[in-house]
Amino acid sequence: MAAAGEPFLRIENISKFFGPFQAVKDVSLNVAKGEIFSLLGGSGCGKTTLLRMLAGFEEPTSGKIFLDGRDMTGVAPWDRPVHMMFQSYALFPHMSVEKNIGYGLKHEKMSAQKKASRVREMLELVQLVPYATRKPHQISGGQRQRVALARALARQPKLLLLDEPLAALDKKLRERTQFELMSIQQRTGVTFIVVTHDQEEAMTLSDRIAVMDKGEVKQIGSPGEVYEFPNSKFVADFIGSITSFPATILERQTGQLRLSVPALGGEVMARDVPGLSEGQEATLAIRPEKLLISKDRPEGANAFQGTVKDLAYFGKDSLYRVILPSGVLVQAHAVNATRGGEAARVADWDDRVWISFAPSSAIVLAE
Partner 1 sequence: MEGNRLSRWFDRKGWSDLLIGAPYVWLLLFFLLPFLIVVAMSLGTKTPTAPPISFGGDYPLFNFQGYVRAVTDTLYFRAFITSLVSAGIATLLCLLIGYPMALGLTRVSKSWRNILLMLVILPFWTSFLLRVYAWMGLMGRSSWFNAGITKIWNAIVPAGWAVDFMPMMHSNFAVVLVMVYTYLPFMILPLYASLERLDPTLDEAALDLGSRPWQVFLDVTLPQSIPGIVAGGMLVFIPAAGELVIPTLVGDASSPMIGRVISDQFSSARDWPMASAIAVVLLVLMVGPAMIYSHFQAKAEGSK
Q: Which does 112 bind (CB under 5 to 8 A by kind): Mg ion, partner 1, ligand ATP, none?
A: none
Question: At closest approach, how far in Å is the CB of 81 from Mg ion?
Answer: 23
Question: At closest approach, how far in Å is the CB of 143 from partner 1?
Answer: 16
Please identify which residue in 118, 174, 197, 218 interacts with ligand ATP, judged by CB under 6 A. Answer: 197
Q: Is residue 73 part of the contact set for partner 1 (CB under 8 A)?
A: no
Phi, psi of 111 (to 5 degrees): -65, 155
Q: Which does 137 bind (CB under 5 to 8 A by kind): Mg ion, partner 1, ligand ATP, none?
A: partner 1
Q: Which does 83 bind (CB under 5 to 8 A by kind): Mg ion, partner 1, ligand ATP, none?
A: partner 1
Please identify which residue in 3, 21, 74, 106 interacts with partner 1, judged by CB under 8 A. Answer: 106
Question: At closest approach, how far in Å is the CB of 201 from ligand ATP?
Answer: 13
Rg (CA), the chain: 25
Q: How far apart are CA 183 and CA 149, in angstroms?
A: 13
Which residue's CB is nearer to ligand ATP, number 89 or number 245? 89
Question: At closest approach, how far in Å is the CB of 298 from partner 1?
Answer: 57
Q: Is residue 48 part of the contact set for Mg ion (CB under 5 A)?
A: yes
Q: How far apart are CA 31 and CA 293, in angstroms?
A: 41
Q: Is the distance from CB of 128 to CB of 185 less than 8 angstroms?
A: no
Interacting positions 312-351 with partner 1 (CB under 8 A): none
Selected range binding ligand ATP among 17-25, 28-36, 91-99, 100-108, rule: CB under 6 A: 17-25
Interacting positions 40-59 with partner 1 (CB under 8 A): 55-57
Q: Is residue 117 part of the contact set for partner 1 (CB under 8 A)?
A: no
Q: Which does 117 bind (CB under 5 to 8 A by kind): ligand ATP, partner 1, Mg ion, none?
A: none
Alpha helices in the chain (DSSP H): 47-55, 97-102, 112-125, 141-153, 171-188, 199-205, 223-228, 233-238
User: Residue 126: helix, strand or coil by DSSP?
Assistant: coil
Q: How far apart are CA 88 and CA 316, in angstroms?
A: 37
Tell me the residue type at 154. Answer: A
Q: How far apart are CA 135 and CA 93, in angstroms?
A: 7
Question: What would the x/- binding string for partner 1 be over residues 121 to 140, using CB under 8 A?
Answer: --------------x-xx--
Which residue's CB is nearer to partner 1, number 70 or number 271? 70
Phi, psi of 288 (to 5 degrees): -55, -35
Interacting positions 145-204 with Mg ion (CB under 5 A): none
Question: At closest approach, how far in Å is the CB of 198 from Mg ion?
Answer: 12
Torsion-angle region of residue 353: left (phi > 0), alpha (psi -120 to 50) or beta? Answer: beta
User: Residue 70: helix, strand or coil by DSSP?
Assistant: strand
Q: Is residue 90 part of the contact set for partner 1 (CB under 8 A)?
A: yes
Q: Is the distance from CB of 357 to CB of 302 less than 8 angstroms?
A: yes
Q: How far apart are CA 304 and CA 329, in angstroms?
A: 12
Q: Is the distance from CB of 14 to CB of 50 less than 8 angstroms?
A: yes
Residues at the interface with partner 1 (CB under 8 A): 55-57, 76-78, 82-84, 86, 88, 90-94, 103-104, 106-107, 135, 137-138, 151-152, 155
Residues at the interface with ligand ATP (CB under 6 A): 18, 21, 23, 41, 43-49, 197
